[in-house]
Amino acid sequence: MNNIGNRIRKLRKDCHWTQEELANRINATKQVISNWERSIARPELKHLVALAEIFRVRTDYLLGLDESVQYMHPQGGEHERRGKHWDWVIQRSYDLVEVINSDYKFKLNNRFLTKKDKEFISHYIVDLYKRLESIELEYEEKIEELQNEINELSGCEKTDLTNPLFE
């Protein structure tokens, strides 16, 4: 029989999370997760709801009242399998390229982006960011050169050009 502990373990492993990662996501401890998975304890209602939300499944499935798992897509609807990147919706920080390339649907100019569109946009975001890093480094070096020249000309120890009030 497939009990709640086995279901939690299976869903956690499907997400490639450790017990500690799951615990952090639902405000529990690693020990609590371990006890659930070993059927030593059962989740309280607040944790049961949090588990259903984090795994995007119905509480009925977790409780064993429904044998087939139906994953709730972030944009609505049920699916037989979990999307690769669904968990980004409830994270605190995101990798922009991963989000763009996720199962999530995005619109631009009232048109849904295709997989090819997403790959194109992702490529240019990465390229643009690399260029910005290069420009930033170049300007930091130029600012440092100017600071050194000003210091030499004025005979001062050091002037901070980043400070708007050049004290």
Model confidence pLDDT, tens digit, residues 64-113? 887 766 555 454 444 445 555 445 455 556 778 888 888 778 888 989 99
Smallest CA-to-CA distance from 74 within 43, 120, 105 is with 105
**Which residue range is the domain that position 146 belongs to?**
105-167
Q: Do residues 17 and 65 both lie within one domain?
A: yes
Q: Do residues 14 and 63 both lie within one domain?
A: yes
Q: Do residues 66 and 121 both lie within one domain?
A: no
> Is residue 98 a part of any domain in this protein?
no
Q: Nearest 5°: CA angle at 28, between 23 and 33? A: 60
pLDDT at position 79 is 47
> Is residue 99 a part of any domain in this protein?
no
Q: Do residues 8 and 81 both lie within one domain?
A: yes
Global pTM value: 0.47
pLDDT at position 24 is 92
Q: Do residues 88 and 115 both lie within one domain?
A: no
> Is residue 100 a part of any domain in this protein?
no
Q: Do residues 61 and 30 both lie within one domain?
A: yes
pLDDT at position 78 is 47
Q: Is the pLDDT of residue 32 over 90?
A: yes
> Is residue 97 a part of any domain in this protein?
no
Q: Do residues 14 and 81 both lie within one domain?
A: yes
